């Protein structure tokens, strides 16, 4: 069976990455791409790297245009996708790459986003530990999927094994992330201009204000933490794509080094896209560019009695579009890895 697909927000970074990965998927046909101000333009005018899709024209983003497809991807700014979901009841599968359906707590939504709260959908990170099993079990029957925030899934994947195994103290998680500006979207913003970014590292959303914090806490509660507390500091660095997250938490009392490492090895032993590196090895963002792969290295800082996990992902691939398509594959009963590269692009 070939599934018909519509992708909204196709002129943006997330929409373009969804299209790049879907273009090599043998079980889907990309029939419709939409945008707002760019409607009427050729897709390749905005995504010139997508040569196999040069026949497509951007249509207006309306419920009428998106309706009638088997699968709809919503790659819209936060707060915009919710207006379409009720009108697309006929679609067998809808995947939202925005934040509108990620959070289960209305209080968290109001505190970090604001605006109309929408019902939470099945969270699209298959490898996450949830109540002793993997999230992919819930995705297998899903018809509405919320793709993750890129920073949120990176930190959650970094700490969930330790939380689930009880080898770390989740009340004191500290994470600092080097992130590329593509995670902020394609809209022109002065602080994202090359002249502002090149040769500089710039912290933002400091002091507990980043919108991905409640999403991380939600994932860690699902993994078994009763009161997860996260100090989260992202730093913009001059690379187009990528996240390098350094996350640490205190070791639980009486836990051995071997028990700590075993928690992560057991959690990700059979995962094709989340890989723990050998002891003493740590990833670089370039190792995962273009890939649906999260690479992580683990260390134990005995002087501070903390577990340190360094994780690299491509924020547009595994962080967003790759996670969305991986979840789509699971929901449709397809091979989970279909159309998703494990290998990065280097140099």
pLDDT exceeds 80 at position 314: yes
pLDDT digits (tens, 9 = 90+) for 255-308: 999 999 999 999 999 999 999 999 999 999 999 999 999 999 999 999 999 999
Identify the bridge partners of residue 231 per DSSP, sorted by sequence position. 174
> 132-178, pLDDT tens digit by residue?
999 999 999 899 999 999 999 999 999 999 999 999 999 999 999 99
At 176-202, the pLDDT tens digits run: 999 998 887 777 677 877 788 888 999
β-bridge pairing 3-8 and 28-35:
parallel
Question: Residue 311 pairs with which residues in a beta bridge?
Answer: 245, 296
Strand bridging mode 294-301 / 306-313: antiparallel
pLDDT tens digit sequence for 31-71:
999 999 899 999 999 999 999 999 999 999 999 999 999 99
By residue count, the chain amounts to 347
In DSSP terms, which residues pair with 199 in a beta bridge?
none
- Evaluate if residue 78 carries a pLDDT over 80: yes
Confidence of residue 83 (pLDDT cuts 50, 70, 90): confident
Active site residue 164: no
Question: What pLDDT sits at residue 278?
Answer: 98
Greater model confidence, 188 or 114: 114
Which candidate in 28, 58, 76, 150 is catalytic? 150
* 97: confidence class by pLDDT, cuts 50, 70, 90: very high
Calculate the average pLDDT of the chain. 95
Instruction: Report residue 69 CA to chain centroid gap.
Output: 24
Share of the chain above pLDDT 70, in %: 99
73 closest CA partner among 120, 17, 126: 17
Question: pTM for the full model?
Answer: 0.96
Q: What pLDDT score was predicted for residue 194?
A: 79
Query: Residues 214, 284: contact at Cβ < 8 Å?
Result: no
Least confident among 62-71, 191-200, 215-224, 335-344? 191-200
Beta strands in the chain (DSSP E): 3-8, 28-35, 58-60, 71-74, 93-96, 122-123, 129-130, 133-134, 144-146, 173-179, 202-203, 230-236, 243-250, 274-276, 294-301, 306-313
Say if CB 165 and CB 263 are below 8 A apart. yes
What does the DSSP assignment read for 178-189?
EE-GGGG-SS--
Q: Is residue 98 pLDDT above 80, yes or no?
A: yes
CA atoms within 13 A on the CB side of 322: 27
Q: Where does residue 232 fall: left (phi above 0), alpha (psi -120 to 50 degrees), or beta otherwise?
A: beta
């Amino acid at each position: 069976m070939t599934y018909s697909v519509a992708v909204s927000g196709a002129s943006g970074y997330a929409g373009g990455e969804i299209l790049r990965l879907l273009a090599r998927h043998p079980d889907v046909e990309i029939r419709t791409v939409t945008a707002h101000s760019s409607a009427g333009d050729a897709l390749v005018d905005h995504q010139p790297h997508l040569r196999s899709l040069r026949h497509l024209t951007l249509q207006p983003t309306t419920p009428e245009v998106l309706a009638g497809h088997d699968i709809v991807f919503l790659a819209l700014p936060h707060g915009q996708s919710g207006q379409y979901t009720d009108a697309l009841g006929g679609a067998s599968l809808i995947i939202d790459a925005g934040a509108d359906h990620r959070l289960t707590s209305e209080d968290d939504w109001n505190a970090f986003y604001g605006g109309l709260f929408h019902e939470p959908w099945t969270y699209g990170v298959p490898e996450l530990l949830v109540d002793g099993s993997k999230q992919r079990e819930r995705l297998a029957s899903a018809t509405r999927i919320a793709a993750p925030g890129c920073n949120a899934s990176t930190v959650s994947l970094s700490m969930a094994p330790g939380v689930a195994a009880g080898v770390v103290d989740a009340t004191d998680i500290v994470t600092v992330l080097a992130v590329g500006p593509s995670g902020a979207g394609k809209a022109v913003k002065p602080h994202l201009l090359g002249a502002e970014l090149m040769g500089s590292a710039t912290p933002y959303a400091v002091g507990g204000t980043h919108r991905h914090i409640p999403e991380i806490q939600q994932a860690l509660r699902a993994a078994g933490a009763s009161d997860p507390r996260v100090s989260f500091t992202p730093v913009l660095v001059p690379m187009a794509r990528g996240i390098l997250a350094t996350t640490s938490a205190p070791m639980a009392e009486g836990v051995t080094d071997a028990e700590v490492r075993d928690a992560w090895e057991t959690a990700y032993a059979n995962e094709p896209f989340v890989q723990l590196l050998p002891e003493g090895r740590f990833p670089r963002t370039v190792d995962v560019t273009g890939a649906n792969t999260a690479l992580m290295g683990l260390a134990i800082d005995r002087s501070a009695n903390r577990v340190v996990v360094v994780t690299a992902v491509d924020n547009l691939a595994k962080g967003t579009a790759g996670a969305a398509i991986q979840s789509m594959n699971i929901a449709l009963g397809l091979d989970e890895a279909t159309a998703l590269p494990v290998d990065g692009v280097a140099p």
